[in-house]
Structure 1
Amino acid sequence: MMGAWGVQSFQNDTAGDWTDQFSRGEDLKLVQLAISRVLSKEDEYLESDDACSAIAACEVLAALNGQPCEKTPYSEHILQWISNHEMEVRESLLIAGQKALDRITSYDSELNELWEESEHYDDWLSAVDDLRVRITP
């Protein structure tokens, strides 16, 4: 089980690890990779780590889209990176992010299954839905 676990995007160890790695880079390659990894699992079981990384990647897109999450210890690295690397986000990447979030909250998704088993499933779905809205082109 994860050491950190909460309904918000950065409240899990995988997202924290992904964020640390991303914040050392200078571009959106890891964002694209995380989203592509989820979308490539269309007919396969989607592992929780891939889903958590893609959700964190979508938070980068949301911040670049002018809709950042609340500042927390978990999101601080992302928000700092954004302030140092302002750039335009392609609409196609925002749409891919939305599709990835749809995939994460659907069939054959370990993260979705884990949350379904908890009393906080509706809260988690609301957090993902909020993120989906924040990356609307």
Structure 2
Amino acid sequence: MGTWDIGPFDNDTAADFTDDLDEAAPDEREAMIRGVLKRAAGPADVLGVSDGERAVGAAALVVAQHPGGDPVCSTYGYGPSQPLPELSADLRMLAVAALDHVVSHRSELAELWAEAANWSMWRQNISGLRNALNPPVPPQEEALFEV
């Protein structure tokens, strides 16, 4: 993997994806993000490493525009430098599906990370992105009313 850290843009593929976004016309950027997420969320039996890396970066861009989401940044300065248009709300669930595929047993990226020493940190980052888009419902301590 051309990967130097666990962040969404800390690999060659995702960094190149952000370069492509910066070079695209502003009205083409959402379609590019949508295409990456659709490919990763799609019905493919195996999700390749490059598609997985791009999907994590695309999901991070969706999270950045979600209320309470973290801004896109990288310790190493990677990520889009041009502003993105406001992304459609329907990208949230598409990003969740893509992230679910990224960490599944059908993901070559997850397989590579499982062999890395910092696998659990990478997995926590992916879970953080997913939870920002689709937070888990907290369990109820007691019934709100009796039947």
Q: TM class by shorter-chain length?
A: 0.7 to 0.9
Give the counterpart of 1:38 among 32, 40, 46.
Answer: 40
1:74 maps to which residue?
78
Given the two structures, how large is their TM-score scaled by the length of structure 1? Answer: 0.84
State how far apart, in whole Å, the 2-side matches of 1:119 and 1:51 are: 19
Q: Secondary structure at the match of 2:23?
A: coil
Maintained 8 Å contact 1:64/1:89: no
1:128 maps to which residue?
126
Give the counterpart of 2:113 among 104, 115, 119.
Answer: 115
State how far apart, in whole Å, the 1-side matches of 2:133 and 2:52 are: 16
Aligned residue pairs: how many?
A: 129
The one-letter amino acid paired with 2:38 is S
State how far apart, in whole Å, the 1-side matches of 2:5 and 2:115 are: 14
Per-residue CA deviations over 1:84-131 (Å, capped at 9, x if unaligned) read x3x2522x2201100110111011211000000111110000000111
Q: Secondary structure at the match of 1:81?
A: coil
The structure number with the bigger radius of gyration is 2
Per-residue CA deviations over 1:7-55 (Å, capped at 9, x if unaligned) read 1101000000001101223130111000111122x34111000000111
2:62 maps to which residue?
61
State how far apart, in whole Å, the 1-side matches of 2:5 and 2:114 are: 13
State how far apart, in whole Å, the 1-side matches of 2:58 and 2:9 are: 10
Q: CA deviation at 1:133?
A: 1.9
Q: Give unpaired runs (5+ residues) of structure 1.
A: none
State the identity as a percent: 26
Q: Give unpaired runs (5+ residues) of structure 2.
A: 136-147
Tell me whether 114-123 or 19-28 shows the greater mean CA deviation: 19-28
RMSD: 1.9
State how far apart, in whole Å, the 2-side matches of 1:61 and 1:104 are: 16
Given the two structures, how large is their TM-score scaled by the length of structure 2? Answer: 0.79
More helix by share: 1
2:6 maps to which residue?
7
